Structure 1
Amino acid sequence: MLERYSRQLLFPNIGEDGQVRLKSKHVLIVGVGALGTGNAEILTRSGIGKLTIIDRDYVEWSNLQRQQLFTEYDAENRVPKAIAAKRQLEKINSDVTIDAHIMDVTPVDLEHLLEDVDLIMDGTDNFDIRLIINDVSQKQNKPWIYGSCVGSYGISYTIIPGETPCLHCLMKQVPFGGLTCDTGGIISPVVGMVVAHQTVEALKILTGNWTDLRRNLISFDLWNNQQSAINVDQIKNQDCPSCGKAPSFPFLDYENQMKAAVLCGRETVQIRPVTKGKRNIEIIANNLSKVGPVKHNSFLLSFTVENYRLVMFQDGRVLVHGINDVEKAKTLYHRYFA
């Protein structure tokens, strides 16, 4: 079957040895949305040995513009993203083992799934899960590749435990922004660009080309013709609780994880985010106003969407009214406030 990969074999940095290595590798992709489907398809076409994909959501019509493994059938039937992606990936390359999980990621689940994984790929849409990935990566010494995009802006960085700054280090110094695709929109070319940066780094790692890894944090704005490569080596913090000399892995601690609970008798779910601190209600309200009507004062904002009313307080706590489904409430939270 090497004929299948003949053009990849001709590339001298991979060759037959690299292809054999690739076939023996196992990659975990957390989140099967825009970035996750792009990463999954390229790795599957490239001949990865095993791919594990995780996602808690189902396919919606708004996904089809940029999430390349899904079809109108999937949106019409609300097929879970992990299942829809698995079906398509198996049609693309039946030699690749695809392990799909419909689940909300927890530290316990993630640590269990990582037992024989060589690399973690970020396809998520929120920093709560990314910080869990980051701590598990550091704890188990597994490299992972961060990626994010919104509007026409994208960013990617490869995190190698023991060598590079981790995401916790970066968040102290690098402005990541607060928009999501549901509040700021997105154009599909930016997805492809982030996927390209993520997957080329993945191929380097999986084929053993460690010295060729990009050491800079890449960011770009395709619409405004801007790109930057930032050397972040100096940001690595020796006292970082996630990757420093004495790590405590704080985001694996229950107290530092997102809390969601149904309020008794109120048909309301309360969500307490991981990241504590005062929110700028006015800026968040302005972002949400592009999606629907928002009412706010200096203490809270109220936003109605899909027949649900979401109320955010200054401390980041959110009440999702009109629902008892915790998972749906989490999805709405990450969609508009992550």
Structure 2
Amino acid sequence: MDERYSRQMRFTPIGEAGQRKLAESAVCIIGMGALGTVLANHLVRAGVGLVRIVDRDYVERSNLQRQMLYDEEDAEQGYPKAIAAERKLKRINSDVIIEAIVADATVRNIEELLDGIDMALDGTDNFETRFLLNDACFRKGIPFAYGGAVSSRGMSAMLVPGETPCLRCFIQSADNGGQTCDTIGVIAPVVDIVASYQAVEALKYLVGAAEARRTKLVTFDLWHNHHFEMKLGEPAADCPCCQLKEYPALQATEADSAVSLCGRSTVQIAGKGPLKLDQWRERLEPVAANVEQNAYLLRVQLTEGERLVLFPDGRVLVQGTDDIVRAKTIYARYIGS
């Protein structure tokens, strides 16, 4: 075995046999923000054979305080998070297969993103996507390491189809009162702790250490020195996901074409097909205040004050507004209806 794992293999619960299991495993991390970057860093360094990373966004300076795989150059160049993370992770461990996917996880692609995966890890920043991931995991029988962090608070649980309740059993609503990292902030140590809880549960599961797995939801407030653990208990009898097998988040035939990204003053519009960035740069330069392009996206500062960010897969971010009607108007004006 590679000398890089020598200290990990000396840890008896993993050993050489566990290390081989890790090398044969595949995981998917949805969201490469604060939680996702810590998760990917741990699992790639641990030698998990394939790590698939999925994110729809690009690196900004406000990310650097807590999103550990990114640096100032990534923000200046506006690299997609999945691409910037892939570059760092390949330099950390060239033996691990890194699959970087620049995409929004939606009802249209979530199950495909989880194909061939042994477990999924939650690096998202909103409950709408978490419920989507939860429902897809429980329909496909894939374990789901849930985690959330905001302000100085964090929580985490390991959810295993057929063994534990699902996320819907103890969090019924996607409404968290509007509290996001963008509205009330977050301190980086909280992120590290939550993701470390998730990562260690992933390692336990992948090496087959079932007896060591956590069976409780852990919550804490790092600033105010609070810590609480709640037994997951039995699944809710009327749970539409793990008991009734209805999987509500997967019922929609198509993802909403326009979604306001909570706390971001940004609306994402799915678009109707791929965009050729070079062509759109030529088209928009005469009517824009400023245009910047790299291999992965096109940023267009509009004279009205808002900014468009175009991705090759057809998605467009309208930044500077959280009004969906306003965003659609701008989109129609510059991209077309």
**TM superposition score category, shorter chain reference:** 0.7 to 0.9
Number of aligned residue pairs: give it: 281
- SS, match of residue 322 in structure 2: strand
1:238 aligns with 2:232: no
1:15 aligns with 2:27: no
1-structure distance, mates of 2:258, 2:40 = 30
Superposition map of 1:116-135 within 5 A = 116-135=116-135
Residue in structure 2 matched with residue 222 of structure 1 by the alignment = 222
Deviations 1:290-327 (A, max 9, x none): xxxxxxxxxxxxxx99873435xxxxxx545486459x
Residue in structure 1 matched with residue 195 of structure 2 by the alignment = 195
Partner letter of residue 250 of structure 1? Answer: P
1:247 aligns with 2:259: no
Deviations 1:33-65 (A, max 9, x none): 000000000000000000000000000000000
TM-score between both structures, scaled by the size of structure 1: 0.77
Deviations 1:54-96 (A, max 9, x none): 0000000000000000010000010000000000000000000
**Would the aligned equivalents of 2:57 and 2:80 in 1 still touch at CA under 8 Å?**
yes
2-structure distance, mates of 1:174, 1:111 = 20
Q: Report runs of 4+ in structure 1 exceeding 2 Å deviation.
A: 172-178, 255-259, 268-271, 304-311, 318-326
**Would the aligned equivalents of 1:122 and 1:144 in 2 still touch at CA under 8 Å?**
yes
1:79 aligns with 2:91: no
Identity fraction in percent: 46
Specify whether residues 5 and 75 from structure 1 end up closer, same or farther in structure 2 by C-alpha distance, changes over 3 A only: same
**Would the aligned equivalents of 2:33 and 2:123 in 1 still touch at CA under 8 Å?**
yes
2-structure distance, mates of 1:255, 1:62 = 35
Specify whether residues 119 and 10 from structure 1 end up closer, same or farther in structure 2 by C-alpha distance, changes over 3 A only: same
1-structure distance, mates of 2:30, 2:222 = 25
Deviations 1:209-253 (A, max 9, x none): 11211011000000000110011214x212211100x31111101
Deviations 1:1-58 (A, max 9, x none): 4311000000010000000000000000000000000000000000000000000000
Superposition map of 1:15-94 within 5 A = 15-94=15-94
Deviates more, 1:193-202 or 1:162-171: 162-171
- SS, match of residue 227 in structure 2: strand
Unmatched 5+ stretches in structure 2:
261-265, 270-304, 308-318, 333-337
2-structure distance, mates of 1:141, 1:53 = 20
1:308 aligns with 2:320: yes
Specify whether residues 101 and 325 from structure 1 end up closer, same or farther in structure 2 by C-alpha distance, changes over 3 A only: farther
Structure 1 position 173, deviation (Å): 8.8
1-structure distance, mates of 2:268, 2:13 = 51
Partner letter of residue 4 of structure 1? Answer: R
2-structure distance, mates of 1:212, 1:202 = 11
Deviates more, 1:59-68 or 1:107-116: 107-116
1:145 aligns with 2:145: yes
- SS, match of residue 310 in structure 1: coil
1-structure distance, mates of 2:177, 2:204 = 29
Superposition map of 1:327-338 within 5 A = none
Task: Give the CA RMSD over aligned residues.
Answer: 2.6
1-structure distance, mates of 2:96, 2:201 = 20
**Would the aligned equivalents of 2:128 and 2:174 in 1 still touch at CA under 8 Å?**
no
